[in-house]
Chains A and B, each alone.
Chain A
Amino acid sequence: MAEALAGAATGTAAPGRLDASRSKAVRRFKWMILSPLLLMLLSLLTPVLLLQLYFSFHQWTVYLSSWWNADFVGLDIFQSVFTDPRFGWAVLRSLAFAGGSTIGCFVLGFSLAYLIYRPFRGQALYYALFIVPMLTVPIVIAYTGQMLLDRSGPLNDILSRLTGHDIQVLWLSNPDIALLTVTLLDIWNWTPFSFIIMLAGLSSLPKEPVEAAQILGASSWRIFWEVQLPLLRPVILLALVLRFLDAMGSFPIIWGLLQGGPGTATETLGIYIYITTWQDFNVSLGAAQSYVTMVMMVGIVLLAIRLLRREKRSLDTMYAKPQEAEETA
């Protein structure tokens, strides 16, 4: 106290008094904000994860009454997960689905964004239309797909009329193309997401470097490749990562349309786990599968985080304001 007063008297800042009370208030503020979240995560996430872990190590199916009396079976369940070819296929299908959807959404979304981002007549209308699929509830898309893609449904009908041949593609019942079908539906659903992200990126590109490149003799292709694309890398990565991760966990569209069928043709990870847990009632197997999936996803997610952060860093350096950049003249 005395030092503070002495400091005030002499006009020099006695370090501590104001800083200390401020930082204490800040800490309390931060704590007040965060504690509800931590509480919820702790009371919800932790028990659930532990329970899931428990089931992975104890064999239990719903028919047995008390789950806490289930037998401990060590790593047996996990072993069965890894030796289950159906699980392996599910993983592959998920990757194929997510990959296909991501690439499709990206290619389409980017093309549309590129064609639209500069003003032209009708721009607003097209923009409004292109957003709509994302606003459509996935389960509705699934059921509508059933109507549209039926063998004698409108899609085949239109294709037949357009090409003059009698086209009767078995979109829904041919196991070889069922996964493709559902991927196409997912692309229809989520292209707007990539579209909007890429549009935001393209619109934020500075215009003058493009003009500078034009007058320096660059062709449109050159400009796209060398001036615009490098600056779009962070946004592109974002669009790809978000879509891929989301598609890996996709459920309503596939389940609503085909329930993993025909046979197991569209049985992705999520579907398989659902079937194992809620149709076969093999909760323990489902739990182990879930954990393996979680670990896999966390791995992918960590990789994604690393990539995104790297892009964010490079953006920060490119657009940094030089604080005390000295004139070298």
Chain B
Amino acid sequence: MARIELVNLRKTYGSVLAVRDLNCVIEDGEFVVFVGPSGCGKTTTLRLIAGFEEPDRGEIRIDGRVVNDLEPRDRGLGMVFQSHALFPHKTVAQNIEFGLRMKKVPRDERARRVREVAEMVRLTPLLNKLPGACSGGESQRVALARTLVTNPSTFLLDEPLSSLDAKLRRELRAECDRLHQELKKTFIFVTHDQEEAMTLADRIVVMRDGDIEQVGSPMEIYAEPVSDFVADFFGSPSMNLVSGEIVADNGAPRFRSPHFSLALPPEAVGEAPTGSVTLGIRPEHVRVQREVGAAADLTLPVRLVEPLGKDTLLYFDIGAERPFIAVTEGLALAELDAGERVGLTLTRDRLVLFAADGKRVTRHPVGARQ
């Protein structure tokens, strides 16, 4: 059993408040991902849990027991570091068995367990190599094995895939997933990559400037973001965000921006009927029609066409900083020429409005493809 509770955690570095009154519960066996931009406090939180940093205030509890005063080695945790942190002068096998030696496990059993774990992560041919001779992916697997073999109740992973190239990252991601399902232990994973968060997590904790912005399952985070920050962070390509204001037009709410205006269904507006807002619509909810008809919400020339194979991305300039993006399936629209005008329609029940403070005001879910 390894239920971890973070209670009112606060950590300051000099004048920087890294973690701000954090409260969070991580259930036994969960795969929790802490995600957010650089400097949001996710790594600090992980290091507080591990015991490498001491909180200024608050408690860390493992299975109900307060562990603030315990050294990292007494907390029963395992950790994988971003730089894999292997001992460069020891062989892979010596690296893996290190934790067992510290626990004074007898030699035969050590050798056996090392072999088992090496099989589990497919490292057997590398056992006598030095870390310097291993590639990035291999090194990270050694780091995993080194932690695995000690059988901790909880695994802490600090951006373990960030130093790998895209292909390796996907492979090791699958590896982590597989391990979690096999071992059924608690995994606390820190990353800045929203894709990793979405694919690996049972629950995502979105952090921003030391605070928790939102906690939820990947679906909840994607479909019901609590703020424009969360909505923007998740999803690739990101949600289109257009600033404007809500005006009453003969009693019906209307969204008006310098670039276009739109009649809004009343349920989209929620509790903030007037004022400045940000309109959000995910690229996959923007329908593109080649034939310019009156039915389109806006008609714009295509600036850039990106055929990706599975989808095609279309970029439009609506006069804002970021381009307006629409995603269409397949390569049907891949032959569009830049400058060609097309009609765009925004799916009404996928529209979302964010108030001036960033909080979402629409009540219905805004994510997930049809």
Contacts and interface: CB of A to CB of B under 8 A. Distances in A.
Q: Do A and B bind each other?
A: yes
Interface residues of A, number: 28
Interface string B42-73: 00000000111000000000000000000111
A318 B130 contact: yes
A310 interface: no
A287 interface: no
Contacts of B135: 322, 325-327
B191 to A, nearest CB: 17
A328 B146 CA distance: 18
B122 A211 contact: no
Given A206-B85, A329-B122, A215 B134 contact: no
B79 A320 contact: no
Given A215-B72, A218-B102, A208 B132 contact: no
A136 interface: no
B73 A209 contact: no
B138 A209 contact: no
Given A206-B85, A319-B88, A327 B132 contact: no
B93 to A, nearest CB: 15
Contacts of A322: 132-135
Contacts of A314: 89
Contact of A216 (B122, B146, B171): B146
B64 to A, nearest CB: 21
B99 A216 contact: yes
A232 B47 CA distance: 27
- Which of A213, A222, A325 has the most chain B CB within a 10 Å cutoff? A325
A254 B50 CA distance: 55
Interface in B106-147: 122-123, 125-126, 130-135, 137-138, 143, 146-147
A216 B143 CA distance: 11
Contacts of A206: 83, 85
B133 A325 contact: yes
B133 A213 contact: no
Interface in A307-329: 314, 317-320, 322, 325-329
B130 A208 contact: no
B87 A209 contact: yes
A328 B125 contact: yes
Contacts, number: 94
Given A212-B146, A214-B72, A329 B87 contact: no
A217 B103 contact: yes
Nearest to B80: A212
Contacts of B134: 322, 325
Contacts of A218: 73, 98, 102
A329 B171 contact: yes
B137 A329 contact: yes
Interface in A219-253: 219, 222, 226-227, 230-231
Given A217-B102, A217-B103, A325-B135, A231 B89 contact: yes
Contact of A327 (B73, B130, B131, B138): B138
A328 B72 contact: no
A325 B139 CA distance: 11
B85 A212 contact: yes
Contact of A217 (B73, B89, B123, B130): B73
Given A208-B83, A216-B99, A231-B88, A328 B122 contact: yes
A318 B134 CA distance: 11
Contacts of B88: 209, 231, 318-319
Given A216-B146, A322-B133, A211 B87 contact: no
Contact of A318 (B51, B73, B89): B89
Contacts of B130: 317-318
Contacts of A227: 87
B50 A215 contact: yes
Interchain residue pairs A-B with the least CB separation, the first 5: A208-B85, A217-B102, A216-B99, A325-B135, A318-B88
Interface of A: 206, 208-209, 211-219, 222, 226-227, 230-231, 314, 317-320, 322, 325-329
Given A215-B50, A216-B78, A318-B131, 5 more contacts: A208-B83, A215-B78, A318-B88, A319-B132, A322-B134
